[in-house]
Amino acid sequence: MRTITIELSDEIGATDFDARMRVAVALYNEDILLLSECAALVGITKRAFIEGAGQYGGLKMGPQSPEELQAEFNSIRRNENHHLGHDVSDSPRQS
């Protein structure tokens, strides 16, 4: 994992949460991150991310490819197993 620091002027009035949401929404809409990865980036649940994304430009809608659906399923399974103490590998996401 990599850490990126972005300096924003206080004049724009964006909180850290707002900035994370805007970045996460953009990364999802550009097919860079999965919904579950965006939620983790912001530090909220997947459901909260989906529900809150509309305030930050909204999420793209449309059919997902089978590969995207499988990657999302694997991500959810990996997160659930991580919480249970299991190590489940995930195949790399295909673009």
pLDDT for residue 83: 62
More confident: 72 or 44:
44
Nearest to 60 by CA among 42, 38, 75, 78: 38
Interval 67-71 mean pLDDT: 78
Q: What angle do CA 75, 78, 81 make, to 5 degrees?
A: 150
Q: Kindly list the domain boundaries of the chain, sorted by start residue.
A: 15-84
Q: Is the pTM of this model over 0.75?
A: no
Judge residue 82's burial from the number of C-beta atoms within 10 Å of its C-beta, 0-12 exposed, 13-18 middle, 19 or more buried.
exposed
Q: Are 48 and 39 in contact (CB under 8 A)?
A: yes
More confident: 75 or 53:
53
- In this predicted structure, the answer to whether residue 3 has a pLDDT above a threshold of 80 is yes
Q: Which of 14-28, 60-74, 78-92 has the highest mean pLDDT?
A: 14-28
